[in-house]
Amino acid sequence: MDTNKKTIKIFNIIAIVCILIFCITISPKVLQNDTYYTIKIGEHIINTKTIDMKDPFSWHENLTYTYPHWMYDTGIYLIYNTGCNIATNFGLDAENGGMTAIYISTMVLASILGILVYITNVKINNNHVISFFLTLGVIYLLKDFIAARAQLVSYIFFTLEILFIEQFLKTKKIRYAMGLFIIATLIANCHAAVWYLFFILALPYIGEAFIIGLMESNLSYKIKKIIVKYEINNLEKKIVKAKDEKIKNKFNIKLEKLNSRMTELDETIIKSTKAVKKMEENSFKIKIEKRDNIKWLILVLAICLLSGLLTPQTTFEPYTHMIKLLSGNTTSSISEHLPTVVIESMDALVVLIIVLMFLIFTDIKITLKDLFMLVGLIVLMLMSKRQISILVLIGVYSLNRIITDFIRKYERKYNEIDLLKHLVKPFEALVIVLLCILCGVNFYGSKYEQEYVNKKSYPVEATQFILDNLNVKNIRLYNHYNFGSYLLYKNIPVFIDSRCDLYSPEFNEKDIFSDALDIANIGVYYEDKFEEYGITHIITNSDSKLKMLLERDDNYIKIYEDDYFWIFERYIGE
């Protein structure tokens, strides 16, 4: 084996080991809200063997549910069920076994994501050291977004999308085109709400091609040439038909002027073409990079638009879900959908500062695609906090290219192979791995002592009380948005859970979402709403405003309390 290839191979092994340490230790053990309903939806799909487009978990009647991530839900339930079965076979707690399996799956998916980010960085930017350290940075910045939720799978798909787009533009190989179509189809079934992002992430490539084509086309001059050519042809026909010599002479004079105009336009086009090339050479910031197969990529993306039809939903969900969601009021009430206040988000601020430093204080040129990509991702990030993750995940490839160009320009003696040969030496390699292990220990912290369910956030003991003492089929329970998913996970019909789209008027007739928040925030008189919905019982946090009012209301009897949750029974007069 060639010495350089062997060096690269050894470094890749070291890099992957370190990335795995980061990904495994950063993965959260405590399950998030969405994971609970994901398990139950997957179970429902497996048991019914159908996508019935109806919600089975709320006590509200006839709610339409579109199952926007049915494939992911099914996969998570199968993982959970496998963990339960294994635990049962060993005489252990089944539920704990299922949650352990989900925790392991999160670590596996996070590791796949980390390795793919590294591979994509290496493939796109043809470097290893910078790609390695940037990948570790990406994993660290994504720590708050890695969870047992559909978004983690979407991150993997988006990373593969960028890799396949770049490889297709380089090679035009059909396997990358097919890969893009498969990815679009998987996103449509695993996380329909972000299907639109598949096409948004490809827009910078198209935008770059459009601008370059427009610059080189001399479109305005060519249009003028077509008009002048038409006038010349029309005039030549008139000359042939004209019998009067004076008229012919008049037409001939005009024809000479038009021919002169045509020559001028040709010369202008030549000068314009030279000016564009000169502008490309002398441009201080913009680097023109032509991509030979961009037309074929546009065709592939057009075909990918059909992937939204390849789902079991009957409502064209990939095409409509995000439109409905954005037109509703749920996005203004959920933290992760709110606009980003940059000064309050240190991660986003650091990324922006690094990008701006390179763009403002250096003379490194940036391709139009990278410029469009970074600007577009920053706009998305400012619109929604959750898009910080996309800025970090996708923006890293453009940042890598800028840093690489900077190093190669100002450190001309830089040779990555020589650096790699130093880094793969036993001592240096050991230091790198040990540093990653120390970081991993810090990330992992006291996770081994954590339980999968946070009893401060989810009514674990209160839920058991309900199951032991109340007939869940005959009660109408009001619950807060934040822990509804845990209740339905325990087979208790809910007033609301974290599937916010299900409870909004854009997806169903009633605005249950707004009512739930108004009741919790005392934005309305709770009794009026409880009467409207026929509420019989209320579960609420022990420090909530609603609890303080209900404990003073004679029509409500406290039937349960612990350190974190209270349950009230509502008196309904005859």
Average of pLDDT values for 378-399? 90
Structure-token match 């890598």, residue found: 400
Q: Please, are residues 168 and 177 in contact by the beta-carbon 8 Å criterion?
A: yes
pLDDT of amino acid 272: 63
More confident residue, 408 or 399: 399
Answer yes or no: is pLDDT of 378 > 80: yes
CB neighbour class for 572 (10 Å; exposed up to 12, middle 13-18, buried from 19): exposed
- State how far Cα 32 lies from the chain centre: 18
Average of pLDDT values for 136-159? 95
Residue ranges of E strands in 241-335: 286-287
Q: Please, are residues 463 and 11 in contact by the beta-carbon 8 Å criterion?
A: no
Question: What pairs with residue 281 in β-bridges?
Answer: none
Answer yes or no: is pLDDT of 457 > 60: yes
More confident residue, 84 or 449: 84
- Which residues, other chains included, contact 98 with Cβ-Cβ below 8 Å and sequence gap of 6+? 39, 80, 81, 83, 84, 87
The number of CA neighbours under 13 Å toward the Cβ of 138 is: 31
Q: Is the dihedral of CA 345, 501, 511, 532 positive or negative?
A: negative
Predicted confidence band of residue 549 (pLDDT cuts 50, 70, 90): very high
Answer yes or no: is pLDDT of 279 > 60: no
pLDDT of amino acid 341: 77
Predicted confidence band of residue 277 (pLDDT cuts 50, 70, 90): low
Predicted confidence band of residue 338 (pLDDT cuts 50, 70, 90): confident
Largest CA distance in the chain: 111
Predicted confidence band of residue 489 (pLDDT cuts 50, 70, 90): very high
C-alpha distance from residue 482 to each of 37, 63, 151, 439, 452 (Å): 12, 20, 19, 32, 16
Residue range 469-486, pLDDT digits in tens: 999 999 999 999 999 999
C-alpha distance from residue 61 to each of 57, 200, 243, 377, 403 (Å): 10, 37, 87, 40, 56
Q: Please, are residues 483 and 458 in contact by the beta-carbon 8 Å criterion?
A: yes
More confident residue, 135 or 324: 135
Answer yes or no: is pLDDT of 297 > 90: yes
Predicted confidence band of residue 286 (pLDDT cuts 50, 70, 90): confident
Average of pLDDT values for 346-374? 81
pLDDT of amino acid 395: 92
Residue range 507-542, pLDDT digits in tens: 888 889 999 999 999 999 999 999 999 999 999 999
Q: Which of 59-63, 201-205, 284-288, 310-314 has the lowest mean pLDDT?
A: 284-288
Structure-token match 């099914």, residue found: 74
Average of pLDDT values for 226-241? 79
pLDDT of amino acid 244: 74
Q: What is the rounded distance in angstroms from the CA atom of residue 313 to the CA atom of residue 70?
A: 9
DSSP string, 67-117: -TTHHHHHHHHHHHHHHHHHHHHTTS-HHHHHHHHHHHHHHHHHHHHHHHH
Helix 388-410 with 150-171: angle, nearest 10 deg = 40
Residue range 149-180, pLDDT digits in tens: 999 999 999 999 999 999 999 999 999 999 99
* % of the chain beyond a pLDDT of 70: 94
Q: What is the rounded distance in angstroms from the CA atom of residue 186 to the CA atom of residue 181?
A: 9
| pLDDT mean across residues, the chain | 89
Q: Which of 538, 564, 319 has its CA nearest to residue 453? A: 564
Q: How many other CB atoms are found less than 10 A from the CB of residue 9?
A: 12
Q: Please, are residues 391 and 348 in contact by the beta-carbon 8 Å criterion?
A: yes
pLDDT of amino acid 283: 58
Answer yes or no: is pLDDT of 253 > 80: no
Instruction: Write the DSSP symbol of residue 335.
Output: G
Amino acid in the structure at residue 86: I
More confident residue, 68 or 411: 68
Phi, psi of 54 (to 5 degrees): -130, 145
pLDDT of amino acid 1: 56
pLDDT of amino acid 281: 58
- Which residues, other chains included, contact 471 with Cβ-Cβ below 8 Å and sequence gap of 6+? none
* 537 Ramachandran zone, left/alpha/beta (phi>0; psi -120 to 50): beta
Average of pLDDT values for 217-235? 75
Which pair of structure tokens corresponds to residue 503? 């409870």
**What's the predicted TM-score (pTM) here?**
0.90
Report for 331-335, 356-360, 382-386, 561-565: range of highest mean pLDDT: 561-565
Average of pLDDT values for 313-331? 79
Q: What is the rounded distance in angstroms from the CA atom of residue 194 to the CA atom of residue 338?
A: 16
pLDDT of amino acid 273: 62
Predicted confidence band of residue 276 (pLDDT cuts 50, 70, 90): low
Predicted confidence band of residue 446 (pLDDT cuts 50, 70, 90): confident
Structure-token match 């946090």, residue found: 541
Q: Which of 539, 568, 569, 559 has its CA nearest to residue 463? A: 539
Which pair of structure tokens corresponds to residue 132? 């390695």
